[in-house]
Amino acid sequence: MSTGPGLESLVNQTISIITNDGRIIVGTLRGFDQATNIILDESHERVYSTREGVQQLALGLYIIRGDNISVVGELDEELDLVNDLSKIKAHPLTPVIH
C-alpha cells in the first residue's frame, strides 16, 4: 500500500493553505495525517480585496480539518519577499462547490 505524496517534505516549512471557503492561511507546518488534517504554527490569514492591498490577520497555532483543505502550497520565501503584498489587489477566491 503506497502512501504516495505525503506532506512529509513540507514539515517545519512555511506553507500557504487554500481552504474550501476560499481563505488563504499561511504558517509553519508542524504535523499532518492521512486525512490531510493539518497543524499550522504561527499562522496568519491573507485577505485579498479589490479595494485595498493584502491584509494579514495573526491567528497563532491552528488545527485545520482535512476535509476543508483544497491546496497546500510550499511558500518560497524569496518569491514572497519580491512580491509587495500591499500593492496586490484581487477578488477573494470563490468557495469550492462539489
Q: How many residues bind other proteins, per CB under 8 A? A: 38
Phi, psi angle pair for 25, to nearest 5°:
-125, 125
The three cell numbers locating residue 86: 500591499
84 binds other proteins (CB under 8 A): no
- With CB under 8 A as the contact rule, the residue among 3, 51, 58, 86 that binds other proteins is 3
- With CB under 8 A as the contact rule, the residue among 28, 46, 59, 62 that binds other proteins is 46
37 binds other proteins (CB under 8 A): no
Q: Decide if 53 contacts 88 (C-beta within 8 A).
A: yes
70 binds other proteins (CB under 8 A): yes
C-alpha 23/C-alpha 41 separation (Å) is 17
